[in-house]
Structure 1
Amino acid sequence: MSAGTPVAVLGECVADAFAAPREPGRPGLDLSVMPGGGPANTAVALARLGTRTNFLGRLSGDVFGRLFRERLSASGVDLTGCPEAAEPSTLAVADLDELGRAHYTFHAEHTADWQWTEAELSAGLPADAACLHTGSLALVRDPGAARIEALLAAARPHATISLDPNVRPLLVDPERYRERMPHWCSLADIVRLSEDDLEHLYPGREAAEVCDDWHRLGVRLVVVTMGPGGALASLDGRRIPVAGEPVEVVDSVGAGDAFMAGLLHRLHQGGLLGGRLDDLDEERTRAAVVFGNRVAAATCAVRGADSPWGEDF
């Protein structure tokens, strides 16, 4: 399908609040709030790279919802599929360890992101979308989760389906993801997950073994990202290891989301989205994963999920 057709990204927006201690003598913490959320990060990164991008998200009318709209719009994301929600925004408080890795505490009960109606979802998806990408908490939080699964099934005849489970074990039991993965894999053409996701889902299992299970269920391309260790792509069972991109890490917030955007952007540029990846081969897979690594590395070089623009490459 033409690279001029849109990629639709469906999921949550989250206000990422970074906690920092105050100087001695001043009790309490200072919070610096950045707009985030895995699917929203991916939509922003895709649009900044130059892919026509539509975001499907329920955006609150609160102060954080306004922040989300400003960031998405400023990045060039089409928000016509975003109803204004009466519920509050989801908040995540991030504590960074000495390696720049974020550990989150979520405030997500009864927030806007999960309350999808069937009418909202069907009205938001562009008819000419080449790809529908989703994942993270939106796929496992009721009542919207089942409606999103139904939308994936309805979109599959004319769009590539891409998933990133982005497991959040402190908020949702990994068993919920394990239970739904076979069904998601029966719908998906692309699945991206981190090595941490893999360990949460299938402790002790080898990545190649899990890839083969998912291929049998219908997924053509599985990519396991390993931070500085690079990535392992599996295309119909053919393994494609890709080295990591050297970078001085500030933090890793949004790196996986940026990788996903880089991967989809490069596949879309090659006219490979819009179906079952029929023309995808090992060379094109490697090129897409290499580019995804570059986008992720650029995101790690700055604070927060502040992904690069196309002119940066």
Structure 2
Amino acid sequence: MSPIQVAVLGECVADAFPSGSPELGELALRVLPGGGPANTAVALARLGSPTRFVGRISRDVFGALFHGRFHASGVDVTGCVSAAEPSTLAVATLDGAGQAGYSFHAEGTADWQWTAAELTPDRLGAAACVHTGSLALVRSPGGERIEELLATVRDRMTVSIDPNVRAGLVDPAVYLRRMPRWCALADVVKLSDDDLRHLDSGRSLEEACDAWHAAGVRLAVVTRGAQGAVVSVDGARVRVPAPSIEVVDTVGAGDSFTAGLLHHLGEHGLLGGRLGALDLDRAVEAAAFAARVAALTCSVPGADPPWARELAAAEPVRAPARVAR
């Protein structure tokens, strides 16, 4: 494998999709490998970015499922810990628009149990960028240790964070309290509009982006589903439209967007520092590419991001429109 471009640090989650008739006393679960960071690592590798996943993977049957997916997608797992604790399980339900909601079974599971001896910079290798977020960044004791690691490596790696708020499991106040610290560590912050409602309900999108920039973030992106995404570089903003597609479900769409964004930045030599060469036009190009990756993920069931060859055959997104300040 080529030198690692992106190291993704976080959790694997077994996503269970129920079927059957509970009223008849029967329910079946179809389990697919998931978890925001794991999905992002898989999407990056399928796009062609040399990617390492760093996580604590259980030795249970779900752990074997995760390893199989990583291997098939070309993800380097040499930075992972083989863990005795069980895997995290999320039971998903889909509404009429394909939007997923989750109930989590996460107490005492492998993903959050990082020790100081386990989580050292060498697990990331010589990556140009480290991406993290989701539950791994807020569940103790691992979340605090991940923050400490980011502070250690940010002098040589671009830091990307996706909070991916899970309000059903973690009080949004925890994310809100830690957000200033994350912005001080991160060069890239990507959130969904749902995340924004939890974290900055009293501020407009523009005000929230400006606050993140003031804390140290160079590139902020807020995804808005079918309305596309807003890209903000040092306070200059552009709206990037979403491709028109038939949505099967939205599982993993945000993770695929993050992967597309980082892949495009890496392909253009922008990762590996504080994004000093990034300007608004380049950020918009990266977000437009990311929107196409996310759209293809929404066109198939589950978190099944596209391969580069599939993306090459897809229709390009139309030109972005400027957002008035």
The TM-score range, normalised by the shorter chain, is over 0.9
In structure 2, relative to structure 1, the CA distance for the partners of 1:44 and 1:204 (3 Å cut) is: same
Distance 2:269 2:305 in 1: 23
| Aligned ranges 1:236-247 → 2 under 5 Å | 236-247=234-245
TM-score (norm 1): 0.97
Distance 1:123 1:192 in 2: 23
Distance 2:168 2:38 in 1: 20
Cα deviation, residue 210, structure 1 = 0.3
Partner of 1:285: 283
Q: Percent identity?
A: 62
Q: State the number of aligned residues.
A: 310
Deviations 1:225-279 (A, max 9, x none): 0011000010000001101111100000000000000000000000000000011
Partner of 2:14: 15
8 A Cα contact 2:46 2:307, kept in partner: yes
Partner of 1:306: 304
User: Structure 2 unaligned runs (5+)?
Assistant: 313-325
Task: Give the secondary-structure state (helix, strand or coil) at the position aligned to 2:120.
Answer: helix
Letter in 1 for 2:10: G
8 A Cα contact 2:121 2:153, kept in partner: no
Match of 2:205 among 204, 207, 218: 207
Task: Give the secondary-structure state (helix, strand or coil) at the position aligned to 1:228.
Answer: helix
Cα deviation, residue 125, structure 1 = 2.7
Distance 2:195 2:144 in 1: 21
In structure 2, relative to structure 1, the CA distance for the partners of 1:124 and 1:32 (3 Å cut) is: farther
Task: Give the secondary-structure state (helix, strand or coil) at the position aligned to 1:253.
Answer: coil
Partner of 2:107: 109
8 A Cα contact 1:56 1:124, kept in partner: no
Distance 2:268 2:232 in 1: 19
User: Structure 1 unaligned runs (5+)?
Assistant: none
Moved more, 89-98 or 202-211: 202-211
Distance 2:28 2:4 in 1: 43
Partner of 1:126: 124
| Aligned ranges 1:226-241 → 2 under 5 Å | 226-241=224-239
TM-score (norm 2): 0.93
Distance 2:168 2:124 in 1: 34
Task: Give the secondary-structure state (helix, strand or coil) at the position aligned to 1:118.
Answer: coil
Letter in 1 for 2:150: L
Asked if 1:60 is matched to 2:58, the reply is: yes
8 A Cα contact 1:252 1:299, kept in partner: yes
8 A Cα contact 2:254 2:294, kept in partner: yes
Distance 1:204 1:226 in 2: 18
Partner of 2:215: 217
Distance 1:165 1:125 in 2: 22
8 A Cα contact 1:82 1:124, kept in partner: no
Moved over 4 A (4+): none
Distance 2:93 2:263 in 1: 30
